[in-house]
Amino acid sequence: MGGKILKRYSPMVAIDVATKEAASSLFDQLTVEPRPILKIGMELYYHFGPEVIKAAQQRGFKIFLDLKLHDIPNTVKRTMFVLGQLGVDFTTIHAAGGSEMVAAGAAGLRAGAAAAGLPAPRLLAITQLTSIDEATLHKEQHVGLSLVESVQSYARLAEDAGADGVVCSAQEVQAIRQVTRPEFLCVTPGIRPQNAAKGDQKRVVTPGQARALGSNAIVVGRPITQSADPVKAYRQIEHDFLEGED
């Protein structure tokens, strides 16, 4: 398992907090080596905009800007043009918006980065959120495919439309690898160390399982940010993912 993996990133830490002070405190604490990638999501970005990204970049962090765009292709393309100018390393779009929307988003993102003279961020397509389980997929989304088939199908769509990878659960990584090129990234949230509270996450794995299943990167929020010692929690998760669970 995991033999084919071409690249593994340091854990991506989701800074899902409400204030600049809380964000800043986590930035300070997480200034360790190997440096995590910081995920700035809707909560912080809607509050503080590009300023919060700059604050993290100034401390040397790579940024995953997770705004999960999902709209008509023209709107997504124009918005991605703006995000392409921020100097972030990863950003997200919903595969459920369709291939035309993902292709428009990819074009907008790359054009925005080129206009700013920056490298293009990696575009990751959300497949099925890790808070969705098989029952919800069938009963609420009325999808006839199994969860893994749905994720696999979105991964093919995303790759064909020009995305660099997907966001999925590590539980689906092996199925995705069967239908995508080896460089295609599988970034996996829904990470819970043994005995950690699942909260709203449904498709969870441990950091060591994510490694064994071939994730390129794990996204971890509350198990680090709500821990009494975020640095200790990060170091353990980073060790389990990059080196393997003891």
Ligand X SMILES: O=C(O)c1cc(=O)[nH]c(=O)n1[C@@H]1O[C@H](COP(=O)(O)O)[C@@H](O)[C@H]1O
Residue 186 near ligand X by CB under 6 A = no
Cis check for the bond before 121: say yes or no (omega within 30 of 0). Answer: no
Smallest separation (angstroms) from ligand X to the CB of 115: 26
Residue with tokens 């790759």: 159
Give the active site residue among 54, 66, 77, 89: 66
Give the 3-state secondary structure of residue 134. helix
Active site residue 77: no
> The dihedral of CA 213, 205, 132, 27: what is its sign?
negative
Smallest separation (angstroms) from ligand X to the CB of 211: 16
Q: Select from 59, 56, 106, 116 the least CA-distant residue to 86.
A: 116
Query: Would the annotation count 222 as a binding residue?
Result: yes
Query: Would the annotation count 78 as a binding residue?
Result: no
Closer Cβ to ligand X, 113 or 217, answer by number: 217
Active site residue 71: yes
* Pairing of the two strands 185-188 and 165-167: parallel
The site map against ligand X for 109-148 (x = CB under 6 A) is -----------------x--xx------------------
Query: Would the annotation count 68 as a binding residue?
Result: yes
Q: What is the spatial distance between Cα 110 and Cα 219, in angstroms, rounded to a whole number?
A: 24
Give the Cβ contact number of residue 142 at 10 Å. Answer: 7
User: Cα-flanking dihedrals φ and ψ of residue 228, to 5°?
Assistant: -65, -25
Smallest separation (angstroms) from ligand X to the CB of 11: 10
Query: Would the annotation count 16 as a binding residue?
Result: yes
Give the active site residue among 20, 62, 71, 133: 71
Near ligand X by CB under 6 A: residue from 78, 122, 156, 222: 222
Residues paired with 167 in a beta bridge: 126, 187
Smallest separation (angstroms) from ligand X to the CB of 87: 19
9, containing H or E segment: none
Q: What is the spatial distance between Cα 246 and Cα 233, in angstroms, rounded to a whole number?
A: 15
User: Cα-flanking dihedrals φ and ψ of residue 180, to 5°?
Assistant: -130, 165
Residues paired with 205 in a beta bridge: 191
Query: Would the annotation count 240 as a binding residue?
Result: no
Closer Cβ to ligand X, 130 or 216, answer by number: 130
Q: What is the spatial distance between Cα 7 and Cα 242, in angstroms, rounded to a whole number?
A: 11
Active site residue 240: no
The site map against ligand X for 143-172 (x = CB under 6 A) is ------------------------x-----
Smallest separation (angstroms) from ligand X to the CB of 55: 18
Annotated active-site positions, please?
Answer: 66, 68, 71
Which residues are documented as binding site for substrate? Answer: 16, 39, 66-75, 130, 192, 201, 221-222
Residues of the binding site: 16, 39, 66-75, 130, 192, 201, 221-222
Contact residues toward ligand X (CB under 6 A) are 14, 16, 39, 41, 66, 92, 126, 129-130, 167, 189-190, 199, 201, 219-223
